[in-house]
Structures are given as structure tokens and as C-alpha cells.
Amino acid sequence: MKYRRLTTEQFESLSDEFINYLSVQGITSDMWAEYKESRLDQVDAHLDEFSDLIWKGVLSSLKYLEQISAQHIHLFKLEADAMHLIAIKVFNPRIDLSTASGFEWFKKNYQDDAVEYLTATKKYSDNPNLDKFELIEKGANITKGELYEWFADLIDN
């Protein structure tokens, strides 16, 4: 398994896709019921393979990730050859960016002296999808990139 198994909730939301996957594998509903009763190794193998297929599709199409903690915001733009980072740090310990009030303060005071911006670019390893997956496992969320693009425009001007 390259990534991690999908959660029960994720499997439930992808039930139609999973049924199609089993069908392509030549597994009927009767066979699947038998596997669940007496061939748990086959069940595990198919759940893992399906999970990897889903993750590969998601990771291959990702464009933006963001991670917000109490004092930091990390905004990632994922391009074909490298990932670009805009890192934001707030040096005011009373501000918690992960709360609604802290983020509201930040939106009004993003040019405050207590806010620092850094940018970086990093080439992917031999496995770009794994690089992206590791960011997600560390708490990054998939986004549409509005915040990244807003700050990219701000920094460029």
C-alpha cells in the first residue's frame, strides 16, 4: 500500500465507485460476501488497492494545500515540477490563527509588524504524489487556492 486505507466514511461516500472497482476486478456481490466471511486477506487486499487508486487520482489532480496552526499559515501551490510555499508567521502569542477570531484579526492586520512572510520553492522527490500525501498526513487541507493566490498577488505587487 502506497498511501493509507480510506476511512469507513470515505468508503461509504465512494460506494458506487467501489462497486465499479469490484466489477472491473470480476468480483460479483456473491463473491464479495464470501470474501468477507472467509477470505479477509482478499478483502484487505482489495480495500487497500482501491484506496491507493483513489489517493493516486486525488493527489495527481491537487493544485493547492493549506495548513493553519496557532501562529503559522502554510500555503502550498502544487505545480508539475515543484511545490511553492507562502509561509506566514504571527509573532503575537495572543493571536491564534486556528480560531475564527484569530483569523479575523489576521485578515484585518496582515500588514502588521507582528506578521512575517516567507516564500520558498521545493522540487519534488522521485514520487511527487507521496510528497503531497505526506503534507496531508501532517494536517494540510485541500483547497481551491484563493488564499494562496491572494497572497501571491500581494507579495508580487
- pLDDT, tens digit, for every residue of 26-58? 999 999 999 999 999 999 999 999 999 999 999
Judge if 138 and 83 occupy the same domain: yes
Residue 3 included in any domain: no
My answer on whether 55 and 69 are in the same domain is: no
Q: Which domain holds residue 143?
A: 64-156
Q: Mark whether 53 and 115 lie in a shared domain.
A: no
Core vs surface per residue 112-136: b (16+ CB within 10 A) or e? eeebeeeeeeeebeeebbebbbebb
Instruction: Give mean pLDDT, residues 14-30.
Output: 94
- Distance between CA 110 and CA 107 in Å, rounded? 6
pLDDT band at 154 (very low <50, low <70, confident <90, very high): confident
Q: Are residues 42 and 68 in the same domain?
A: no
pLDDT, mean over the chain: 94
- Among residues 150, 133, 148, 156, the alpha carbon closest in space to that of 85 is found at 148
Residue 23 grid cell:
466489477
Q: Quick check: is 115 in a domain?
A: yes
Q: Say yes or no to pLDDT of 157 above 90.
A: no
Cα torsion angle, 21, 136, 149, 121, sign = negative
Q: Same structural domain for residues 56 and 84?
A: no
End-of-domain residue from the set 45, 61, 77: 61
Q: What total of structural domains would you count in the chain?
A: 2
Tell me the average pLDDT across 109-128: 93
Q: pTM of the predicted model, to two decimals?
A: 0.85
Residues 146 and 74 in one domain: yes
Q: What is the DSSP letter of 6?
A: P
Average pLDDT over residues 78-103: 94
* Whether residues 90 and 115 fall in one domain: yes
